[in-house]
Amino acid sequence: MSSDNPTNCLNMSWRRIVVKVGTSTLTAGGQRLDPPRMVDLVRQLHELRQRGAQVVLVTSGAQQAGREKLGFPETVKSIPFKQMLAAVGQGRLMHLWEQYFDLYGIVTAQVLLTRQDIEDRHRYLNLRDTFAGLLERDIVPVVNENDAVATEEIRVGENDSLSAMVANLIEADLLVLLSDIDGLYTANPRVDADATLIPRVEAIDGSVLLFARGNGTAMGSGGMHTKLVAADMAVHAGTSVVIANGGRENILLDIAAQRAVCTLFPAPISATEGRKRWLLAQKQVAGQVEIDRGAAEALLSKGRSLLPVGIVRAQGKFERGAIVAVIDELGQTIARGLANYASQDLLRVLGQRSENIAELLGYDYGPEFIHRDNLVLL
């Protein structure tokens, strides 16, 4: 490989990778889902897992699978029609993925999302827990938009953005957007012979967005512009992004081996740092909790989570998922984080040991009031 190898800065410590596959990749440019193409992607995902990475697959193709199943009905440009197609096709799409992952003994889980599921704080925390639970058990989450129920107001509309949201949610190190094009070009390579591939983009500014004009794919919902918007969202949250051609042999392995033809958008900060910044950028806190000296010590010098047992008092009315301030005995704000329990629940469990939560509330969302991953020290 040449020294200006496009992805030289790829970092082998990538441990959590979201791979988004567009419809045109899944159909290999045709009209039908292409099983060899899908199996081949699964083989590569398996290989990445063998090397220690956790992977999440965001897959399009439900609507196309629906079209295929229904014998390619005449296209109607309406949302109910698309919802109908997706409802027919999602089962088939998932069935195929499940079968192919099964060849490698990998268990999959279907996760269907809308914008609302990610933006609503309460659901957001539930989703984080769901992904954490799946990844802990070595299961591959297979994600798509829940098109059958996603009305205009609550839908994301395309999977580039959805995959960036998922990457953010699980603090992925890398998001790979697989399309039918090698990456970002200086112009549309399908019409402009002088177009050249840009191997690395440090910042997605106006001049970069200009490159994406008229640069889309025929079948999926996202063109290059939506990819850049998604990439921008991801890099700001600390996830590096690669746009690459899903039709190239061994593309995922080549990305990992730093020899892929692609465009890389390196994140200037880590995903953990991105999450901390996000927490700090939230202006409003919904309430505050005062903690005892032992808990303050555990937070500040041991990097622990905040448990109900260390909480002395709670103020404010807040929901699960709200941002709360953590105050020490002297009244100083020492941290900020996402509450795992609503204020009315916290009032019943504060000062109590975590193993009693389920009995006191009738359910539990885990032993922490604020998990250390959702906590930023000030």
- Residue 229 CB, shortest distance to ligand GLU, in Å, is 13
CB of 158 to ligand GLU, least distance (A): 4
Site for ligand GLU in 214-243 (CB under 6 A): 220-222
Return all residues near 158 (Cβ < 8 A) that are at least 6 apart: 220, 221, 222, 226
Contacts (CB under 6 A) with ligand GLU, residues 135-174 = 144-145, 147, 158-159
Using CB under 6 A as the criterion, what x/- string covers residues 316-355 for binding ligand GLU? ----------------------------------------
Of 8 and 116, nearer to ligand GLU (C-beta) is: 116
Among positions 71-130, residues that touch ligand GLU (CB under 6 A) are 86
Q: Map tokens 């504060």 to a residue.
A: 350
Q: For residues 91 and 266, which CB has a smaller minimum distance to ligand GLU in the complex?
A: 91
Tokens of 271: 């995903």
Helix (H, G, I), strand (E, B) or coil at 109: strand
Q: Which helix (H) or strand (E) holds 274?
A: helix 271-281
Distance CA 313, CA 216 (A): 55
Q: Which of 23, 168, 239, 343 binds ligand GLU (CB under 6 A)?
A: 23
Residues 260, 6: contact at Cβ < 8 Å? yes
Q: Does 310 bind ligand GLU (CB under 6 A)?
A: no
DSSP states along 203-239: ---HHHHHHTTT---SSSS--HHHHHHHHHHHHHTT-
Are β-strands 240-245 and 262-265 bridged in parallel, bridged antiparallel, or unpaired?
antiparallel
Binder to ligand GLU among 61, 183, 216, 247 (CB under 6 A)? 61
Q: Is 180 in the site for ligand GLU (CB under 6 A)?
A: no
Q: Which residues of the chain form contacts with ligand GLU (CB under 6 A)?
A: 22-23, 60-63, 86, 144-145, 147, 158-159, 220-222
